[in-house]
């Protein structure tokens, strides 16, 4: 077959006939709903570009990027040595020294108005792995990105394998994307296999031969929306829909769809004493609802009463990264939990957003946070309201709400009832029932320890700043209390002792606030206390920690070091431990072999390693999880999956991830100023604004608190003959249950077994 070059004219005419709106149901800048254009996407895929290297002037791959010390190309061109289909293919023969990747590309230009599938066949010789992938470009920002998450579809008997890259997720971009190139990527042979901790796999004067054939760029039909798109006549009156609060599905202000898998029949919660529990609902209207007032009555059971929930709006806004693949595209996410929806204004068609702030001169106005903006200064005041303010709900724009109930210690068990009251200015009011089941026990502290990196240092003078680095005592206390209410009781701090005549005063005031809030005194993780030869400074830190009642003080080694950099710290660590401190550091798996005898608390990055956890425990040390992923991923489920019950099963002691807030010298509210930083919350002048993922992390810790309650009952039940059999059966269930799947089902299973054991133990005691 003759190779077919990409034709802009041909593809352009096809695309014009099939163009659809990426953000269906979007609204204009004035807030009026635009009609959702119906897609005329064909049912069958269409090949936009193809290269089989059989034509007279086939495209050619060019070496574009590598991290090898040197790449010596012996041959790069069309060859008749091997072919997947016809007579020819493209051959690359090269020698690579050091490094672990090299990319060759063919330029292709096609818009991402539909999902694109990039397909090709490869054949390899030598100790290398060959993959197919592509580059794309964000037209508005100019950013380019490599996508190599290809999948091997099949291995053929003749030595060829078929690869496909398919990423409909790029259609989430609020800005225009274009396919930039199709690539072939060469890696060391062990790249896609499970990699041992040592040595890391690199090229070592590696001879690589790769053949590429039958490349295609295929436009696929648009995926169906996650729920039914409502017609205007279906929602002349507004709907109130209870929804699951913590899922991987999202309710977006850019679409009139409430995903089917989020919808619930009623708004109900189950919680134990001393637990915060969340629920959610959404309002969808076919007409604009003005100044919608949303309140909740107290929860009542007979003479017993629990205070009404804290109510917030879920704010959808743009972020500069696709968190499913960490690609540089602008994507809308439901993330912020606000009392005042007007704190942030989002213009969907223009892909713009701004924040309300008051200048030092007293002027309140909105500042652009969809690009770098030096006009927004950290000394300007940013405040959320103290309670939920009335909300404007635009036509066909679902507005999600979030409620959080705190069940106090001593609350009587049973079923409590309340109502959500919805009162628009221009439409009839509605009431939605709320049911809270209070369990007959109090949740204990979790068996795992939860910490995180907390960059803030005490600002001892002057006005407050909006910063991740500096906090007044009021800001510090507000954030400590926020951490405590979410289950994080021992943040790893950056506050140092300092030097000169005021040495230690800031740390003393810092720890006084810690005391006032009632955070943990088991361990003090001091990131600022680097392991070094400054032994007198270490003694001062230790003395301060002991004066405040901390049992152990941990100094930190060089962050994320490995190999020789890790070994070079042994002397410093030995001296620091000799003074009485312990050592903690975020590290890679090679810590075990190199410094495992000295590292009291490895904070191990990436997925859980039960084998390393077991060896750390054998030494009598503690092991924590870090960066699996870092904080800030707007997906609460991923934290529940990786940092909760499965972490306990893997034998870890807890988690110390990064970071509660991170902005450094950039403004924390402008994620477009220098790229998105890992964070769970956003600072205000007197408090803090949380996110859905932060609420998901609290639910993660609560899972472990339920587990802790069950483990305590199991120990008691195992010691008594009458309940020993039941305890054995429950331990078997706990060993076998999938702790990474349906978290609500696992939670329900934990509660069921807690109640059964409580009843059995009470009966036996009589």
The model's confidence at residue 753, banded by pLDDT at 50, 70 and 90, is very high
**Angstrom distance (rounded) from CA 588 to CA 560:** 6
pLDDT for 370 beyond 90: yes
SS (H, E, C) 690-751: EEHHHHHHHHHHHHHHHHHHHHHHHHHHHCCHHHHHHHHHHHHHHHHCCCCCCHHHHHHHHH
Instruction: Find out whether 96 and 208 touch, Cβ atoms under 8 Å.
Output: yes
For 403, residues 6+ apart whose C-beta sits below 8 A from its C-beta are 278, 279, 280, 281, 296, 309, 310, 311, 312, 420, 434
CATH 2.60.40.10 occupies which residues in the chain? 242-340+384-441
pLDDT score, position 37: 31
The pLDDT of residue 685: 98
Q: What is the mean pLDDT of the chain?
A: 89
Report the alpha-carbon distance of residue 213 to residue 242 in Å, rounded. Answer: 52
> In the CATH scheme, what is the homologous superfamily, with its name and number, of domain 8-14+46-219?
Galactose-binding domain-like (2.60.120.260)
pLDDT of residue 26 exceeding 50, the answer is no
From the options 3.20.20, 2.60.40, 1.10.3470, 3.40.50, give the CATH code of 449-701: 3.20.20
Maximum C-alpha span of the chain: 92
Q: How far is Cα 742 from Cα 236, in angstroms, rounded to an integer?
A: 36
Give residue 299's pLDDT: 98
Average pLDDT over residues 714-743: 94
> Check: CATH 2.60.40.10 for 242-340+384-441?
yes
Q: Identify the helix (H) or strand (E) that includes residue 613.
A: helix 610-618
| pLDDT surpassing 50 at residue 556 | yes
- DSSP string across 362-388: S-EEEEE-SS--TTS-TTSB----SSP
pLDDT in tens, 272-328: 999 999 999 999 999 999 999 999 999 999 999 999 999 999 999 999 988 877 788
Handedness of CA 622, 639, 244, 28 (dihedral sign): positive
Q: Are 553 and 545 in contact (CB under 8 A)?
A: yes
- Are 243 and 258 in contact, with CB atoms under 8 Å apart? yes
> CB–CB of 291/61 below 8 Å?
no
Contact 294, 341 (CB under 8 A): no
pLDDT value of residue 204: 86
For the chain, where do the domains classified as CATH 3.20.20 start and end? 449-701
* Coil/strand/helix, residue 419: strand
* Residue that wins the pLDDT comparison between 257 and 149: 257
Tens of pLDDT along 160-200? 999 999 888 888 899 889 999 999 999 888 655 444 443 45
d(CA 655, CA 652): 8
Least confident of 46-55, 185-194, 681-690: 185-194
DSSP string for 486-521:
TT---PEE------STTTTHHHHHHHHHHHHHT---
Query: Contacts from 12-17 at CB under 8 Å and sequence distance 24+?
Result: 14/46, 14/48, 14/219, 15/111, 15/113
Residue 3 pLDDT > 60: no
Distance CA 405, CA 697 (A): 16
Tokens of 195: 């990699």
* Token duo for residue 11: 């593809």
What pLDDT is attached to residue 616?
98
In degrees rounded to 5, what are phi and psi of residue 656? -135, 85
> Sorting pLDDT into bands at 50, 70 and 90, what band is 498?
confident
**3-state class (DSSP) for residue 329:** coil
Q: What confidence tier does 536 reach under pLDDT thresholds 50, 70, 90?
A: confident
pLDDT greater than 60 at residue 766: no
**Helix (H/G/I), strand (E/B), else coil: 563:** helix
More confident residue, 498 or 544: 544
Higher-confidence residue: 98 or 16?
98
pTM for the structure as a whole:
0.88
Domain with CATH 2.60.120.260 in the chain: 8-14+46-219
> What is the average per-residue pLDDT within 239-251?
96
The answer to whether 691 touches 736, Cβ cutoff 8 Å, is no
């Amino acid at each position: 077959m003759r190779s077919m070059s990409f034709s802009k004219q041909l593809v352009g005419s096809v695309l014009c006939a099939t163009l659809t709106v990426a953000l269906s149901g979007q609204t204009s800048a004035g807030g009026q709903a635009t009609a959702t254009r119906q897609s005329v996407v064909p049912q069958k895929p269409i090949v936009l570009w193809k290269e089989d290297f059989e034509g007279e002037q086939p495209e050619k791959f060019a070496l574009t990027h590598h991290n090898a010390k040197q790449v010596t190309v012996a041959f790069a061109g069309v060859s008749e040595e091997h072919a997947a289909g016809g007579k020819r293919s493209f051959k690359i023969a090269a020698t690579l020294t050091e490094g672990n990747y090299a990319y060759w590309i063919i330029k292709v230009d096609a818009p991402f108005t539909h999902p694109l599938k990039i397909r090709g066949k490869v054949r390899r010789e030598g100790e290398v792995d060959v993959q197919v992938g592509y580059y794309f470009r964000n037209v508005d920002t100019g950013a380019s990105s490599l996508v190599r998450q290809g999948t091997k579809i099949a291995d053929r008997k003749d030595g060829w394998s078929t690869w496909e890259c398919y990423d409909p997720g790029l259609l989430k971009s609020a800005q225009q994307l274009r396919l930039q190139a199709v690539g072939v990527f060469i890696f060391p042979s062990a790249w896609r296999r499970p990699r041992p901790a040592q040595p890391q796999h690199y090229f070592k004067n590696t001879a690589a031969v790769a053949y590429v054939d039958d490349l295609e760029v295929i436009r696929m039909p648009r995926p169906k929306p996650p729920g039914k798109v409502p017609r205007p006549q279906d929602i002349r009156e507004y709907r109130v829909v209870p929804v699951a609060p913590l899922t991987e599905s999202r309710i977006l202000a850019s679409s009139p769809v409430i995903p089917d898998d989020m919808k619930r029949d009623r708004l109900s919660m189950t919680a134990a004493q001393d637990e915060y529990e969340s629920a959610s609902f959404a309002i969808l209207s076919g007409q604009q609802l003005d100044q919608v007032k949303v309140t909740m009555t107290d929860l009542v059971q007979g003479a017993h009463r629990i205070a009404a929930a804290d109510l917030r709006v879920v704010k959808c806004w743009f972020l500069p990264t696709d968190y499913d693949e960490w690609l540089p595209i602008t994507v809308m996410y439901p993330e912020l939990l606000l009392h005042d929806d007007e704190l942030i204004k989002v213009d969907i068609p223009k892909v713009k957003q701004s924040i309300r702030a008051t200048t030092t001169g007293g002027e309140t106005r909105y500042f652009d946070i969809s690009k770098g903006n030096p006009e927004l200064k950290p000394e300007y005041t940013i405040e959320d309201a103290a309670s939920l303010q009335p909300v404007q709900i635009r036509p066909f724009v679902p507005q999600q709400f979030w409620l959080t109930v705190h069940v106090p210690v001593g609350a009587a068990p049973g079923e409590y009832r309340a109502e959500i009251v919805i009162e628009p200015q221009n439409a009839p009011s509605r009431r939605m029932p709320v049911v809270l089941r209070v369990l007959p026990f109090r949740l204990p502290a979790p068996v795992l320890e939860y910490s995180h990196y907390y960059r803030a240092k005490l600002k001892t003078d002057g006005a407050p700043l909006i910063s991740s680095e500096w906090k007044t005592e009021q800001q510090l206390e507000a954030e400590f209390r926020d951490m405590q209410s979410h289950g994080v009781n021992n943040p790893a701090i950056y506050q140092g002792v300092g030097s000169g005549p005021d040495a230690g005063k800031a740390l003393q005031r810092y720890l006084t606030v810690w005391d006032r809030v009632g955070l943990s005194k088991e361990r003090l993780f001091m990131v600022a206390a680097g392991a070094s030869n400054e032994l007198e400074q270490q003694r001062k830190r230790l003395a301060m920690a002991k004066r405040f009642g901390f049992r152990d003080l941990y100094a930190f080694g060089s962050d994320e070091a490995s190999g020789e950099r890790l070994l070079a710290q042994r002397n410093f660590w030995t001296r620091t431990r000799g003074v009485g401190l312990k050592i903690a550091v975020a590290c890679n798996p090679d810590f075990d072999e190199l410094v495992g005898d000295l590292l009291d608390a490895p904070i191990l990055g990436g997925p859980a390693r039960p084998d390393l956890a077991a060896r750390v425990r054998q030494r009598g040390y503690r092991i924590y999880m870090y960066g699996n992923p870092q904080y800030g991923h707007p997906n609460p489920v991923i934290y529940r999956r990786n940092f909760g019950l499965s972490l306990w099963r893997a034998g870890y002691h807890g988690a110390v991830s990064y970071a509660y807030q991170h902005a450094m010298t950039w403004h924390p509210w402008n994620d477009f100023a220098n790229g998105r930083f890992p964070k769970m919350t956003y600072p205000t002048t007197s408090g803090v604004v949380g996110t859905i993922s932060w609420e998901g992390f609290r639910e993660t810790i609560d899972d472990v608190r339920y587990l802790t309650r069950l483990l305590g009952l199991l120990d008691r039940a195992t010691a008594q003959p009458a309940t020993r059999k039941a305890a054995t059966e429950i331990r078997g269930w706990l060993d076998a249950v999938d702790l990474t799947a349906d978290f609500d089902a696992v939670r329900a299973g934990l509660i069921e077994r807690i109640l059964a054991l409580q009843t059995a133990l009470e009966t036996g005691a009589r």
